[in-house]
Structures are given as C-alpha cells and as structure tokens.
Structure 1
C-alpha cells in the first residue's frame, strides 16, 4: 500500500466520522467545528488529486469564511433547550421517509456505477488541477464571461450598499 492510498483512507475515515459527528452532536457549536474538520479532510482529498487551487479555495472560503458566518449566526440565535420547538410525530415520520428515499437513490446510483469500477481516468500530464492551467483557460477561453461576472458582482455590491444605506 502506497503513502497516497494510506492518506486517502485516513482522510476518508476522518471525513466520514466528522460528518457523522456533525449530525450526532447536540451542541450546534460542536457541529460547526466538526464541519470544519470535514472541510479540511475534503481539502486533503483535493491535494491528493493534485488540485491545489480547489484545496486552498475550500479552506479559505468554506472552512474560513462560511464557518465563521455559521458560528456568528448560531451565537446570535442563542439556541437553548427551552426555546427549541418540539417536533411532532409527522415531522419525524417525513424525516425518516425522506432519508430512506435518499438512501435508495444513493444505492441505485452505486449499483449503476458498478461498470466504472476498475477503470481509471487517463490524463496527458500530472498538472491538471494547477492554478497556472486554470489561469490560462480563464483568461483566454473564458475572458468575456469572467469580465461579465466581475461587472455583475460589482453592481451587486453597489446595490447592497445603496439598499443598506440609511436615508
């Protein structure tokens, strides 16, 4: 077994365990902290796939900014046992039914992908996920959509400032 395979299995077990802990944890702060561990494990998988840009963006955007936002929202909501509404039997029933349907879809997708086992994707080189290649494609083939999206983001920022500005 190579080092890459060992790292893959360690990161996979860490990601699955942390994801289960997100669901099982009673304290919402602990759930957010376990979700950060999931994001770091996924970033490790991106590094194993030689996609350094995705790994860094995942750590900065999700494990950094989004999780800080989640923590602030949870702390501002001040979740207590007394304020938590009691779920009735129908909500629990529909939760179990929807979870069962999701499980059925996942099992059927796994069964339909059995013909893909053993096949590997061949690439011309080992630098498929590098930032240099992403930059070349982004600023040559997709230069116009990139500029249009930057203008849209700028107009959205100006609109947010105008809406948020007090009279």
Structure 2
C-alpha cells in the first residue's frame, strides 16, 4: 500500500501539480468523479501515448529518487536503528524520553534546495508577510515565534497506567 500511495502522489505531482521539468506546469487528464454510477473516482487520460510514456518516466524518476534518498538516510543512521532494535528487544516499549535518547545522534539531512519550475524564475528575496501579532511582538522586543509551539501544544499531565489497567481506583 505504501508503494501504491507513493506512486499516486508522484502521479499527482507530475499530472496535476506541474512538478515535472520535462512536462512543465500544466495539468494533464481530467478527474472523473461519477461515483453515483457505481464507478470509482478516477482519472481520464486526454493526452498522447508519447506524453503518457514521459509521464510514466517522470513518475518512475520521482519514486526512484525518493527510494534512493530513504535508503541512504537509513544506511547513514544504521547504528541508531540497531540501537533502537536492541532497546526494543530488551524493554518492548519505550517512552518519549527513551526514544529521544536513542535518536539523539541522528544525522539530519541538509535543507533541500528550493525547487524552481524554471531557471528563469528565481527565488524571491522578500521575507514572508508578518501578521499584526508578529509585528506587535517584535515591537515589544519579543520573538514572535517563541510562544507558538507552547500555545499550540500546552503541556498535559501524564498519568502512568499500572499493570492492572486501573487508574485512580
């Protein structure tokens, strides 16, 4: 099912989102959503066999590039995966703090370069628009991003469940 989902996403990237340098920023095919006739949501091809071959090649290229990247990341962090396996064999379950310790040495990937649909379209040097709340925080000398994570995910009490499964009883 993972390969099916990845292939479907790659197909949408190429045919709907214009994310193929070879094909360009055009939408290919039409949605067919006649579910009421007993049909599944589908995709009607309205382009040539030659273009369909290029679409398939682009999908394969995206899938293979993602697969190669995933393999390289797992290979580069094999020691950490081995440590995780040993911890799970010993303890069966790990809490957040134990997982944090296990994954401490993960070698993170460098930031991805910005994807450009054309060499003629460069990345804007302008920063994102600031909201009124961000501007007010900056005027007060605060970091406007500092409170966001705390506000969105406030800490919650953690109750440990005893072996019998009864809490507070």
Larger Rg: 2
Give the TM-score category using the shorter length. Answer: under 0.3
Q: Which has the higher contact order (CA 8 A, sep 6+)?
A: 1
- Where is the helix percentage greater, Structure 1 or Structure 2? 1
When normalised by structure 2's length, the TM-score is: 0.26
